[in-house]
Amino acid sequence: MDDIRPKLPPKPERFMNILRQHIRKQGLSYRTEQTYTHWIKRFIHFNRLKHPAGMGPAEVETFLTHLAVHDLCASNTQRVALNAIAYLYKQFLGKDIPDLDFTIAKRQRRLPVVYSREEVATVLSHLQGVFRLQIELMYGSGLRSAELLSLRIKDVDFSSNNIFVRGGKGNKDRTTLLSQGIIQDLQRQVKYVSLLHQQDLLTGYGLVYLPDALDRKYPRAAKQLAWQYLFPANTISKCPRSGIYRRHHIHSSTLTRQVNSAVRKAGINKPARCHAFRHSFATHLLEAGYDLRTIQELLGHSDINTTEIYTHVVNRGNKGVLSPSDRLRSINKIKETGANYFNGALG
């Protein structure tokens, strides 16, 4: 249950707990809380546990330069670290930070890992049961791994063929399409979850974690089937926030291991990543002629520049673009054919 915020003391005294409480009062997502606290801890340890209130621009500049020069971090990583430290001083400590002078990390635009349609089919052939269904859902709907695992029964709308993504990246909601080919398998999964939930209720369990204090607003919702995870874990575990024993969703590492094994068995010489199926979803839609704006909405990108990265990995073979090398080979082949014809005629 590492995606559930741990409970804080009513009156926290330790610095990091006070910072976490401030972040939660600002309504930031748990992922943002984890990211900010990680980089603020690194900043403090880099400066030998000196309190941030006793530091200023000089320490910030030295830390950011160290990330770029010695740690060779990417520009996005350095920017995230800067955002965390800026929040620490401006929002939490109420101190202005002047213009900083530090070495900016080199911007490296990495192309996404994309599997071809044949490679996706081969990987799926090496997956079974719920893991195959999960990857089919990621590839068919363009879901992130965290979005997939956070799906509840109520988020799959079979009548409109929509999947509702709640609190995705940036804490935004969106809808994406539901593949027709997996509807029957999803309906069977819902029936399985229903039977599992009935069994949990009979044994004195059946509660599920609800975010944003929804358990106080809707006291009975935690026991309703609609709120149960679409892909529940095999065991019941203790919630780090409330101490209540609940059935959470499958851990992300479980799916990652299955994908690693399937890609290796498929003999695909590309990195084995769950996120590659989301990249493949976007790339194959682009190859099929769908516009970037539609793909942007399905993926939930706030900036279309993020979606444009897929134009660099799209298969151009079906777009009428012929490599000069292929054209040269075709000319040589025509010459060879003509020479053979005349040689045969003369012979």
Residue of 36, 209, 229, 310 marked catalytic: 310
Mark whether 273 is an active-site residue: no
Residue of 197, 249, 278, 284 marked catalytic: 278
Residue of 42, 154, 174, 275 marked catalytic: 275
Residue of 169, 174, 223, 251 marked catalytic: 169
**Identity of residue 172:** K
Mark whether 301 is an active-site residue: yes
Mark whether 126 is an active-site residue: no
Residue of 20, 132, 284, 301 marked catalytic: 301
Mark whether 22 is an active-site residue: no
Residue of 20, 144, 246, 279 marked catalytic: 144
With contact defined as beta carbons under 8 Å apart, do 154 and 227 qualify? yes
d(Cα 26, Cα 6) in Å, to the nearest integer? 17
d(Cα 205, Cα 191) in Å, to the nearest integer? 18
Mark whether 169 is an active-site residue: yes
Listed in sequence order, the residues at least 6 apart from 181 whose beta carbon sits closer than 8 Å to its beta carbon are 136, 140
**Closest by CA position to 4, among listed 244, 216, 273:** 244
- Exposed/middle/buried for residue 10 (C-beta within 10 Å: 0-12, 13-18, 19+): exposed
Q: What is the CA radius of gyration of the chain?
A: 26
Mark whether 333 is an active-site residue: no
With contact defined as beta carbons under 8 Å apart, do 314 and 286 qualify? yes
**Catalytic residue list:** 144, 169, 275, 278, 301, 310
